[in-house]
Amino acid sequence: MYQLIEEYKLDGHIRWISAQMNRVRNGELYRIVADTKGAFVQPAFYEAFGLTVVEAMTCGLPTFATIHGGPGEIIVNGVSGFHIDPYQGDKAAELLVGFFERCKEDSTHWDKISEGGLRRIYEKYTWKLYSERLMTLAGVYGFWKFVSKLDRQETRRYLEMFYTLKYRNLAKSVPLAVDGDTEQ
């Protein structure tokens, strides 16, 4: 890639951003790219969910991401971003070039894809929607487990993952009542 950047004199037009652990800085990086009418490209061979895709789209970035895994569901191709196949680099490059050429011809094209990405996030990927789905899933799981006595391994795995990622640290921060120390 560095050779291609040098060959086509793209220095200053492409930025490699290594893995970032600071969420505030991540948001700022996405905003800087969006403010300059850039795009986010995530060419992973496979991405289980696609949190970086959701983050980039939340910042209004037109997003190009792997079709393999979660981004294939997150992005509506051509409406809220673009699917790329990392195994077909030439086609991915053509799609990127085509996007930016269209942006030059139609000054509203970048904004259309940006707004499409934001709409998709607000329709499908907010914490409010996620928690509502989780509660529905928990209710359905409880009902079916009670009625059928089935042990739904997938649902249990999902709930355990949610607990581990979201609630375990929250639960640790809740102070325990000590005998004689409870309020009435």
Q: Which residue has the tokens 């990622």?
A: 165
Q: What's the pLDDT score for residue 54? A: 94
Mean pLDDT by 10 residues, the chain (184 residues): 82 76 82 92 91 93 95 96 95 95 97 98 90 81 60 70 75 67 49
Query: Considering the domain 2-124 in this protein, what is its CATH number?
Result: 3.40.50.2000
- Show me where the domains of the chain are located: 2-124, 127-172
- What distance, in Å, lies between the first and last C-alpha atoms of the chain? 66
Q: What's the pLDDT score for residue 184? A: 46
Q: Is the pTM of this model over 0.75?
A: no
One-letter amino acid for residue 116 of the chain: G
Cβ neighbours for 60, distance < 8 A, ≥ 6 positions apart: 34, 114, 115, 117, 118
| pLDDT tens-digit series, residues 94-110 | 999 999 999 999 999 99
Q: What's the pLDDT score for residue 147? A: 55
Q: Give the integer Cα–Cα distance in Å for 182 and 144.
A: 38
Closest CA to 71 of 100, 99, 40: 40
